[in-house]
């Protein structure tokens, strides 16, 4: 945009008054008056140009006077604009920081904070997959319309969710190349990412160097990764094709009921629990410590967001993944609960870019952690770890989070509002990138609200499927 200040002067000694700014796409037409001096100050792309038109006096003194006056006006205009821009920038910054303090954290950031401001500009990293998906959706709708028009002769298409196919090796390579060349790369430190259009915070990212990590934190993370690795014995991998393109995902904590009379239950593999109930029970005792570890890391990073989640869960009696049994009273709830379930993925996990739609809309922030682990044992930060790529991206703002082998990455982000996803990593047989995601699931939240509202008060045949209930059923 070209910003113009237009000043007209008919007499050398006439006071012009303050300049009147306006915005136009090109300079106004030339004034033909021979008794006037007309000039424009044009700012474009950080450069300042001066255009003078009109008949200047033949007197050198008059010309000099005019030019001196012009110089003062030009300086005044530029200084005014500079101060206004500084004021607006400061106001926008204060607005951003206030919103961040109210939603994510009110703790002062560490030194060396990085601020990124981007506008949403949708792109498609896999255009061929999108085109094929649209064709399949179109074909399904055409067949459905034909069936409605002639149900006797046209078979109704099978009702199923139409999902995109997985990318080919070449498509994954092309997407990675595009991201590496065109996205802003985040690799270390503490970063806040804002939506430039709304001043809303999109994500906060913090990399924790493993080499300088306190011994207590290192031990806690090792306990956490080993605990999650041992949990795999007693839970099924998540089977949904919409959740992943490759790798394996598991989940622990609370989810919608699987059995007809179950209000809410825990993720579990019944047959595996039946084979070794004592080991399952002992393992679930560690849920509380795992919850405390994650609380400490995320509360130190985003205390306001964590406490809002906990207050919401306490209000509606929603259990956290750290609660092995359903808490019948507030005193029974874990003091470290801020998510009803914990999903974790590894073994070359990657997925389609998406917005989350299964989490409670009243809690817009998701929590994630990425750690280096041993594929075989679950050990944290094993020697020789060499997993490459697998960037976590915010596609439409063109920002990529990279995962250095010697770092742990904490992320708090608006998973329901901004498209995100994980690119395919390059892993060896010994090591894998472990990604954790914590949220309050909508269906679990709704079930607890119904229970709190008394919808099950007159029924004695329904139950919550906690650890003790599972084990009691095995004994009976």
> 47-105, pLDDT tens digit by residue?
444 444 444 444 566 667 767 777 788 888 888 888 888 877 777 788 888 889 999 99
pLDDT at 240: 75
Domain residue limits at 309: 169-475
The answer to whether residues 186 and 134 belong to one domain is no
The answer to whether residues 242 and 158 belong to one domain is no
The answer to whether residues 352 and 410 belong to one domain is yes
Residue-wise pLDDT for 235-246, tens only, equals: 999 987 777 899
The Cα-based distances of 326 to 288, 313, 316, 342, 454 in angstroms read 13, 12, 13, 16, 16
Dist. CA 431–CA 347, nearest whole Å:
8
Q: Are 107 and 307 in contact (CB under 8 A)?
A: no
pLDDT at 359: 62
Q: Are 389 and 176 in contact (CB under 8 A)?
A: yes
DSSP string, 125-148: S-HHHHHHHHHHHHHHHHHHHHHH
The strand pair at 425-426 and 388-389 is best described as antiparallel
Confidence of residue 5 (pLDDT cuts 50, 70, 90): very low
pLDDT at 422: 98
Q: Are 175 and 385 in contact (CB under 8 A)?
A: no
Dist. CA 104–CA 135, nearest whole Å:
41
| Helix pair 303-316, 60-103: axis angle to 10 deg | 40
The answer to whether residues 391 and 444 belong to one domain is yes
Residue-wise pLDDT for 276-288, tens only, equals: 999 999 999 999 9
The strand pair at 190-195 and 114-118 is best described as parallel
Of residues 182 and 456, the one with the higher pLDDT is 182
Per-residue pLDDT, averaged over 323-337, amounts to 89
The answer to whether residues 267 and 236 belong to one domain is yes
Q: Which parts of 148-215 are beta strand (E)?
A: 184-186, 190-195, 201-209
Q: Who contacts 390 (Cβ-Cβ below 8 Å, separation ≥6)? A: 349, 350, 403, 422, 423, 424, 425, 426, 427, 433
The answer to whether residues 345 and 422 belong to one domain is yes
Domain assignment present for residue 146? The answer is yes
Which one of 136, 163, 190 terminates a domain?
163
Which one of 115, 144, 163 terminates a domain?
163
Q: Which parts of 324-381 are beta strand (E)?
A: 341-350, 365-374
CATH number of the domain enclosing 469:
3.60.130
Dist. CA 64–CA 72, nearest whole Å:
12
Q: How many percent of the chain have pLDDT more than 70?
A: 85
Domain assignment present for residue 23? The answer is yes
Q: Are 252 and 297 in contact (CB under 8 A)?
A: no
Q: Who contacts 273 (Cβ-Cβ below 8 Å, separation ≥6)? A: 234, 280, 470, 471, 474
Q: Taking 70 as the threshold, does the pLDDT of residue 16 lie above it? A: no
The answer to whether residues 212 and 96 belong to one domain is no
Q: Taking 70 as the threshold, does the pLDDT of residue 22 lie above it? A: no
352 class by beta-carbon count within 10 Å (0-12 exposed, 13-18 middle, 19+ buried): buried
Of residues 351 and 37, the one with the higher pLDDT is 351
Domain assignment present for residue 52? The answer is yes
What SS3 class is residue 312?
Answer: helix
Domain assignment present for residue 109? The answer is no
Residue-wise pLDDT for 387-435, tens only, equals: 999 999 999 999 999 999 999 999 999 999 999 999 999 999 999 999 9
CB burial readout 263-291, b (16+ within 10 A) else e:
bbbbbbeeebbeeebeebeebbebbbebb
Dist. CA 347–CA 422, nearest whole Å:
13
Confidence of residue 10 (pLDDT cuts 50, 70, 90): very low
Domain assignment present for residue 231? The answer is yes
Per-residue pLDDT, averaged over 348-357, amounts to 94
Which one of 114, 148, 163 terminates a domain?
163
373 class by beta-carbon count within 10 Å (0-12 exposed, 13-18 middle, 19+ buried): buried
The answer to whether residues 181 and 137 belong to one domain is no
Q: Are 229 and 148 in contact (CB under 8 A)?
A: no
pLDDT at 13: 43
Domain assignment present for residue 112? The answer is no
Bridge partners, 35 (sequence order): none
The answer to whether residues 204 and 155 belong to one domain is no
CB burial readout 215-236, b (16+ within 10 A) else e:
eeeeebbbebbbbbbbbbebbe
The answer to whether residues 365 and 381 belong to one domain is yes
Phi, psi of 387 (to 5 degrees): -70, 135
The answer to whether residues 367 and 450 belong to one domain is yes
Q: Taking 80 as the threshold, does the pLDDT of residue 18 lie above it? A: no
Q: How many domains does the chain have?
A: 3
Residue for token digits 């949403």? 120
Domain assignment present for residue 255? The answer is yes
Dist. CA 476–CA 471, nearest whole Å:
9
The answer to whether residues 407 and 446 belong to one domain is yes
Domain assignment present for residue 106? The answer is no
pLDDT at 378: 98
Of residues 464 and 433, the one with the higher pLDDT is 433
Q: Number of helices and strands (H, E) in the chain?
A: 10, 20
Dist. CA 362–CA 299, nearest whole Å:
19
């Amino acid at each position: 945009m070209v910003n113009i200040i237009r000043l007209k002067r008919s007499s050398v000694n006439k006071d012009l008054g303050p300049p009147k700014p306006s915005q136009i796409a090109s300079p106004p037409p030339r004034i033909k008056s021979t008794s006037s001096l007309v000039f424009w100050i044009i700012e474009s792309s950080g450069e300042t140009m001066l255009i003078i038109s009109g008949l200047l006096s033949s007197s050198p003194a008059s010309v000099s006077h005019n030019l001196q006056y012009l110089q003062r006006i030009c300086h005044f205009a530029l200084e005014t604009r500079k101060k206004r821009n500084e004021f607006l920038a400061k106001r926008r910054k204060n607005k951003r920081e206030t919103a961040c303090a109210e939603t994510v954290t009110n703790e002062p950031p560490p030194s060396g904070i990085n601020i990124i401001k981007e506008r949403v500009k949708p792109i498609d990293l896999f255009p061929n997959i999108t085109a094929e998906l649209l064709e399949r959706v179109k074909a399904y709708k055409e067949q459905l319309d034909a069936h409605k028009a002639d149900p006797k002769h046209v078979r109704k298409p099978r009702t199923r969710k139409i999902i995109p196919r997985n990318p080919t090796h070449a498509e994954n390579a092309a997407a990675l190349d595009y991201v590496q060349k065109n996205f802003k790369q985040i690799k270390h430190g503490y970063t806040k990412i804002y939506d430039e259009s709304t001043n809303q915070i999109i994500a906060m990212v913090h990399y924790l160097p493993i080499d300088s990590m306190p011994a207590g934190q290192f031990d806690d993370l090792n306990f956490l990764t080993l605990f999650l690795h041992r949990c795999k014995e007693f839970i099924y991998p998540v089977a949904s094709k919409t959740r992943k393109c490759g790798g394996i995902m598991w989940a622990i904590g609370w989810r919608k009921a699987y059995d007809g009379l179950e209000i809410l239950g825990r993720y579990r593999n019944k047959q595996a629990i039946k084979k070794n109930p004592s080991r399952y029970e002992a393992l679930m005792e560690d849920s509380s410590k795992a919850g405390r570890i994650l609380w400490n890391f995320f509360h130190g990073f985003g205390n306001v967001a964590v406490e809002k989640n906990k207050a919401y869960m306490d209000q509606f009696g929603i259990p956290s993944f750290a609660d092995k049994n359903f808490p019948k009273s507030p005193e029974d709830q874990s003091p470290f609960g801020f998510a009803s379930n914990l999903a974790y993925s590894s073994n070359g996990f990657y997925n389609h870019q998406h917005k989350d739609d299964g989490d409670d809309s009243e809690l817009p922030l998701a929590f994630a952690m990425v750690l280096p682990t041993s594929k075989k044992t679950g050990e944290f930060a094993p020697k020789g770890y060499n997993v490459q790529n697998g960037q976590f991206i915010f596609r439409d703002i063109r920002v990529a989070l990279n995962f250095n082998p010697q770092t742990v990455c904490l992320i708090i982000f608006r998973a329901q509002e901004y498209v995100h996803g994980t690119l395919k990593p390059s892993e060896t047989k010994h090591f894998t990138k472990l990604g954790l995601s914590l949220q309050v699931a909508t269906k679990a939240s709704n079930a607890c609200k119904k229970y709190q509202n008394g919808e099950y008060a007159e029924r004695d045949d329904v139950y919550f499927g906690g650890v003790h209930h599972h084990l009691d059923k095995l004994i009976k």
